[in-house]
Structure 1
């Protein structure tokens, strides 16, 4: 999510309403650094513990499954509680879990089962944290600058993930296998302290009604998503695109090594190109929207760019072309992600933002594992470049689905931001 690293968090509160955005930005960046350490070190540790590819894959699966199991529940809880307190409490708990895990690694007591449990537990907690964070941001910054705020958040996180945390993790592991996990624990605790220091008023919530249950509130979130034409179309578009992204992510190393014929250097080149593109996209997202004159029109163009560059990636067998294609893909993808988050925040009622955000995430992310399997099957059946072309087709389909929404208007709520929904 994105921001200018040179400027850092200093002075941003003045531009974002003085609501503590600098501390929220710092917490997000610190946490992203820890995530990058863990995300790099955990697969390496899993590979050292077992040679079974299925067990190694299960570590990733356990870090994904909780979104499908608990994503909607996390959104409902986020709308019931003080989001700031929920975020720092979750980070405190995750920090303690990571510290315990680091001690187990240092003692040589960490087996593959513990890795699976840790990955599942951390992502389960993340379902509450991420939905609370989405709902909290509009209480920290004015809604008029949400696009810029989201861009700064995403960019700062991407910079530390790609260019700081990822490269540092193997160095720390060289000193001690437990060190990246201990550092991750420290980042959780620091992020918790930063979020706890925020002073924001709780968003307005409907008066409590007897008989209301989490199940009913989850259903309201799903109805809110379904009842808004823009969010419904956007979610379907993202869901289709995520199937394609699952295929691309799962088989990227196969495409680079087996089709392009490049070794580790080639893989680093294309992933570095992607990282550079994502950072640049975050920095320029607001200017791109201003130049194109609308959020949804910008998203439509971003989807078209991603489709075209993937076709080039999957048909031109040249390493530098692939690196450039993924840089453009990352640029357009970050612009898309910034606007996706902003549109949800702007259109959903404040009292339902956690639930609608959770419904959007859960529905749209469900196709990612399907896409991973599809990519593997395509590579076996049609060759190592086919997952890229499959991804291009699905991202193109998602862009086509979004076109009628754009033609119907650029997404400004006609009812003052309130989404009508039927009685439970």
Structure 2
């Protein structure tokens, strides 16, 4: 009996733990490794930039300005980078953009080490960093469906996000510990070294040229074709809308430096409260990712996104009302878990809906929404916190998330009914070159103009 119980326990744990099958594919494993190397380092910079600006200005408004400065490069180069990713070898594009990100991180290290103390120089370097990030991300994300078979796309998305969440937890916590000891310049330096190492991992990826013919120059026409394609995908449009609502209205990140000192008692030079605030949301995402086995098997993705976004909003309300650091961190952990669940379902929708020749452009839009939303929130929350107080800005934003989400889903009921497409070939495999694995399934992924928004989507008649 004991052996039977042990076997049952192992099966249960296997069903809920993160699905690692995509790591058996060498090409995906290299892509995953390149992200894993930079996971912690990039988060050190994500803490160091707003902290340095707050130290120089003592203003959450200026911290919020970092979001506005980063937003324009994301809007322009996220969309253009997606178009480029559909016209060139994606591996080469990732190498070029990874080098650019590493170089700008090196610039941030140099200005901090030299004691330049210029807010505007930091903002310029941040903007350039975001240019290369916006070019890199669509190519990286669009490569996933070329490297794994269709049935492994959701666990591949979850696995990559779990790794990034681990870095997003450990990075801020390490920053909180290292800031008083090593200083800001060392945080930037660690990120620069990690990004340089990631270039070598990307170089080992297989070639990923366009499947739809010879390379061509990417221009405005390609960007507009991506928007036209997206306009026919009603369910995808709804998923983007809900993420914009969650991030723009409900991401209180710009308030963290001020709240760490004035609400939760950090010393002026930085401390553990700041690290915990930045780490809490990724910690929730990490915990959810480690238990994402059941999550990635739930096929009512519309329901999953809706419930997750509402849970995010409720947790942010709780955070805004918290007067205790650990209570506030607990609510942010819940918010992070909800955001991870939403991301898995939205990412799977996008990977499975698009043909390869459009996937880069849709990933460009995805990056603009996912990365641009929080940066817009930095600006709005920063100035709202300056004018009305940090607690009011966070609480009001969370309430707004819930209200707007309910309205949006009520207006687009097909999104609530959306189910993931079924796998037609469970035995499908992908070679290490990843040059043919996507071709055989392109016909089943071609969109039409049906109101369901995706050719492969199956809308259930029950709400």
- Is there any run of 5+ residues in structure 1 with no aligned partner, and where? 1-11
1:199 corresponds, among 194, 197, 206, to: 206
Matched, 1:125 2:129: no
Deviations 1:93-120 (A, max 9, x none): 3323433553454444574343222111
Matched, 1:233 2:246: no
Mean Cα deviation higher: 145-154 or 315-324: 315-324
Report the CA distance between 1:13 and its aligned residue: 8.3
Alpha carbons of structure 1 residues 171 and 370: separation in structure 2 relative to 1, 3 Å: closer
Size of the aligned set, in residue pairs, is 405
Matched, 1:167 2:174: yes
What SS does structure 2 have at the residue aligned with 1:81? coil
Deviations 1:54-87 (A, max 9, x none): 6555444323331123221111111111111111
What SS does structure 2 have at the residue aligned with 1:63? helix
| Alpha-carbon distance in 2 for matches of 1:420, 1:71 | 25
Report the CA distance between 1:285 and its aligned residue: 2.7
1:215 corresponds, among 213, 220, 232, to: 220
Alpha carbons of structure 1 residues 386 and 38: separation in structure 2 relative to 1, 3 Å: closer
Mean Cα deviation higher: 215-224 or 101-110: 101-110
The match for 2:43 is 36
| Alpha-carbon distance in 2 for matches of 1:412, 1:419 | 13
The match for 1:277 is 284
| Alpha-carbon distance in 2 for matches of 1:111, 1:382 | 27
Matched, 1:66 2:73: yes
- Is there any run of 5+ residues in structure 2 with no aligned partner, and where? 1-18, 267-271, 423-441, 450-463
What SS does structure 2 have at the residue aligned with 1:286? coil
> Any residues of structure 2 matched to 1:17-416 within 5 Å, and which?
18-47=25-54, 57-108=64-115, 111-164=118-171, 166-168=173-175, 171=178, 174-175=181-182, 177-206=184-213, 214-246=219-251, 248-251=252-255, 262-264=264-266, 271-290=278-297, 292-314=298-320, 320-362=326-368, 368=374, 371-372=377-378, 374-375=380-381, 376-377=383-384, 380-381=387-388, 384-402=391-409, 404-412=413-421, 416=444
Deviations 1:186-223 (A, max 9, x none): 211110110110124435125678xx861111011111
Note if contact 1:302-1:332 (Cα within 8 Å) is conserved in structure 2: yes
| Alpha-carbon distance in 2 for matches of 1:171, 1:15 | 34
Note if contact 1:303-1:336 (Cα within 8 Å) is conserved in structure 2: yes
Mean Cα deviation higher: 13-22 or 59-68: 13-22
The match for 2:445 is 417
| Alpha-carbon distance in 2 for matches of 1:26, 1:232 | 31
Alpha carbons of structure 1 residues 232 and 206: separation in structure 2 relative to 1, 3 Å: farther
Deviations 1:158-196 (A, max 9, x none): 212221465147627744653332322221111011011
Report the CA distance between 1:280 and its aligned residue: 0.9
What SS does structure 1 have at the residue aligned with 2:418? coil
| Alpha-carbon distance in 2 for matches of 1:217, 1:223 | 10
Deviations 1:256-308 (A, max 9, x none): 776xx532366655555433311111122331243x44322222221232233
Note if contact 2:50-2:257 (Cα within 8 Å) is conserved in structure 1: no
- Compute the RMSD of aligned alpha carbons: 3.5
Report the CA distance between 1:416 and its aligned residue: 1.8
What's the TM-score once normalised by structure 2's chain length? 0.75
Mean Cα deviation higher: 249-258 or 191-200: 249-258
Report the CA distance between 1:409 and its aligned residue: 2.9
Alpha carbons of structure 1 residues 161 and 367: separation in structure 2 relative to 1, 3 Å: closer
Mean Cα deviation higher: 367-376 or 280-289: 367-376
Note if contact 1:41-1:169 (Cα within 8 Å) is conserved in structure 2: no
What SS does structure 2 have at the residue aligned with 1:98? helix
| Alpha-carbon distance in 2 for matches of 1:255, 1:53 | 10
